[in-house]
Structure 1
């Protein structure tokens, strides 16, 4: 089946034309009785034109159904089934246009009867045309390369906390509550914000950080070590700062820190 999207581009038409030219040679080699009375060049032109319109009708049907949102493999199947009807109409017109109607007395006496006879006659050729074009387009389809994983989108610290100065950048190390202010420390510097500490912690919920003490939040990616200080613990950060860890948070802190280390 044709899985890629079909469009009547110059490349597709070039493939269709080449298939028609080559296919007409094959048909003439088989010496069909239908064109035996015609000059060879006229017979060749008739078969090449037949094949070209047959290919074009099939491609147009697939492209139209794909644009209408039909899922594979239905555009290919329906277009192949409809091709004998459409191709029969074109074939009958081409035969009379080239001055080569059916030899002998036709069995049908009406136009509809002639058309039905033509449809029956071209049905095998229609399926051959559809099959040949499916084969050619599948061979030309570019190999599907595995999609590369999307790179993570850099976090905008200012997008999370609007009052963060632009010159602090986005790589936050820690936050510290100081009375009615919050000290934000990044790799680019530090600043006091007129914010509520609890609200800032909530805004940074999607970052790899932890509220490790009543008034401290740290980014786990910047934790270098855990130090024991008497009966308490403190985290040593990448910028040299030490931040206390509450006893209640110590187990969670160690577990989260281990998960962060193994995932990087």
Structure 2
């Protein structure tokens, strides 16, 4: 949600801009309608797609298909959001013609999916090129990789965290806050002991009081000249100067 808030105005501008472009081009046989009707239709359609992407994207990327090919992840998001977008198109068409031919449903959905894939894919490529999204490079895999120490570490937490994805650990006095995809939990432990226990896990120390798992990174950003890591939960982890070079070397 933090990322959605951060890029809200950019997303709003994109929706309005794409609505104008699609209206001008008269896409989907809408060129016979007055421009204002086209604009209302396409802006509503783009808004539906944008909200659907914001809600389903993190779930697909982090839960359903984590670590899979981005093309497959994007196609899955496009397939899901095409349903509500197709519904908006169908309702709009029915309001104009007074009917909604069911025999056209498969073709309408395929056309909606194609447009959704183009818009989502283009937005993803543009966002990566502009550095708006990204993460840390995955660690090199070994054929005889040792078992991850993360599951054992999570045994220290209540049962609901079994099998959770570890995002980060941060020091708070004598306690350690464990950040996961299922929430946060405080345990009595020193960061140095936690890092020793997590040795071999795919992550790195970013600050004297923070250790971050690579899979927990949503983006690496700068604010007021200082580097920071935004976790997939929206929590921001600081990056101190002494660890900046190591973090920078791991950025895509």
* Shorter-normalised TM range: 0.3 to 0.5
Structure showing greater Rg: 1
Instruction: Give the TM-score, by structure 1 length.
Output: 0.41
Instruction: Give the TM-score, by structure 2 length.
Output: 0.43
